[in-house]
């Protein structure tokens, strides 16, 4: 049986438990292997981390700058799924097109790339799609998954709380429930900033809820999210941004002071060689 078919079934069971399983986000094969080796039961990709590793911006790309193409993103996704045995969830952005047909093609590519699940966003260039179109896009994705014969886990993400003129939490909950009716397996509302709102969201959304940690606050801990009934905890680009933050701090230390204290936190060459060599056997 193909690896992604069994991985998708495993991934679905993790959501069914609704026990706040933690799904950190990788940006390349090396980071994926390190995260899987830490013991996480599933990992995800991060469009932000992948973009930053290519020297590009993510989402709010400045005018004139080049965004990461779908081909480049899926090339990195395939490298990540090939590197680990745990289920991988894909950051599929807005499905690479507004029309349901574009979302269907992206879902097909995601399944072929070995992903166990994926997120579909409901906005483009800072504007939410019409709610009916958003639901139509999810329904089309659900139909494509059914035809694939896999347990691919479809996450509907609604981004109204992150916009420059944010919508209300109740609006986001309404959209999430509509997407659930359209066929989403998991619902994702980034931008919820406190535990009370998270508890409200979990209570009022009729399906497993993903909460992203580290995006707006570091005060939340997994135990609190588990107690609130969250099904899945992702990290978005937090690890990727933290890694780049560490690199910048180390570079400044070396340039300004000539010291190498940053090197005390590195993983040894021998350990990394051994860890990565396991994937070649």
User: Which CATH number characterizes residue 172's domain?
Assistant: 3.20.20.60
Which tens digits make up the pLDDT trace of 12-51? 999 999 999 999 999 999 999 999 999 999 999 999 999 9
Comparing CA positions, the residue from 128, 119, 111 lying closest to residue 156 is 119
Return the pLDDT at 279: 72
pLDDT at residue 1 above 50?
A: no
Q: The domain containing residue 13 runs over which residues? A: 3-238
Residue 267 lies in a domain: no
Residue 248 lies in a domain: no
Residue 131 lies in a domain: yes
Q: How many CB atoms lie within 10 A of CB 198?
A: 21
Rounded distance between C-alpha atoms, residue 110 and residue 226, angstroms? 29
Number of structural domains found in the chain = 1
List, in sequence order, every beta strand (DSSP E) within the chain.
21-23, 25-26, 43-45, 88-91, 117-121, 123-124, 127-128, 153-157, 186-188, 209-212, 232-234
Angle at 188 between CA 113 and CA 238, to 5 degrees: 75
In Å, how far are 6, 64, 83 from 190, measured between CA atoms? 28, 27, 28
Asked whether 114 and 67 are in contact (CB, 8 A), the reply is no
Mean pLDDT of the chain: 94
What's the whole-number mean pLDDT along residues 66-90?
96
Residue 262 lies in a domain: no
For residues 120-150, one letter each, b for 16 or more C-beta atoms within 10 angstroms of the residue's C-beta and e for the rest, the string is bbbbeeeebbeeeebbbbbbbbbebbeebeb
What's the whole-number mean pLDDT along residues 199-213?
97
pLDDT band at 57; cut points 50, 70, 90: confident
| Residue carrying structure tokens 């060689």 | 273
Residue 266 lies in a domain: no
Asked whether 114 and 81 are in contact (CB, 8 A), the reply is yes
pLDDT at residue 67 above 90?
A: no
Return the pLDDT at 215: 74
Return the pLDDT at 2: 58
> What does 136-169 look like in DSSP terms, one character per residue?
HHHHHHHHHHHHHTS--EEEEE--GGGSSS---H
Rounded distance between C-alpha atoms, residue 16 and residue 13, angstroms? 5
């Amino acid at each position: 049986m193909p690896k992604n078919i069994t991985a998708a079934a495993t991934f679905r069971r993790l959501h069914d438990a609704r026990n706040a399983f933690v799904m950190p986000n990788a940006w390349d094969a090396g980071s994926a292997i390190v995260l899987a080796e830490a013991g996480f039961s599933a990992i995800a990709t991060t469009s932000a981390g992948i973009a930053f590793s290519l020297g590009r911006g993510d989402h709010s790309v400045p005018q004139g700058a080049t965004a990461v193409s779908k081909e480049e993103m899926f090339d990195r996704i395939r490298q990540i799924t090939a590197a680990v045995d745990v289920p991988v969830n894909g950051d599929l952005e807005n499905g690479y097109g507004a029309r349901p047909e574009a979302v269907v093609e992206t879902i097909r590519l995601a399944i072929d790339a070995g992903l166990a699940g994926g997120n579909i966003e409901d906005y483009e260039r800072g504007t939410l799609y019409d709610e009916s179109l958003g639901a139509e896009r999810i329904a089309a994705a659900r139909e494509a998954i059914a035809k694939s014969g896999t347990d691919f886990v479809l996450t509907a993400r609604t981004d109204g709380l992150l916009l420059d003129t944010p919508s209300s939490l109740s609006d986001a909950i309404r959209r999430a429930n509509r997407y659930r009716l359209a066929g989403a397996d998991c619902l994702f509302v980034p931008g919820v900033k406190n535990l009370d709102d998270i508890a409200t969201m979990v209570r009022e959304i009729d399906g497993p809820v993903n909460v992203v940690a580290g995006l707006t606050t570091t005060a939340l801990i997994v135990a609190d999210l588990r107690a609130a009934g969250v099904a899945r905890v992702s990290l978005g680009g937090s690890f990727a941004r933290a890694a780049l933050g560490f690199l910048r701090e180390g570079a400044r230390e070396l340039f300004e002071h000539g010291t190498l204290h940053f090197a005390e936190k590195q993983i040894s060459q021998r350990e990394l060689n051994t860890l990565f060599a396991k994937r070649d056997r």
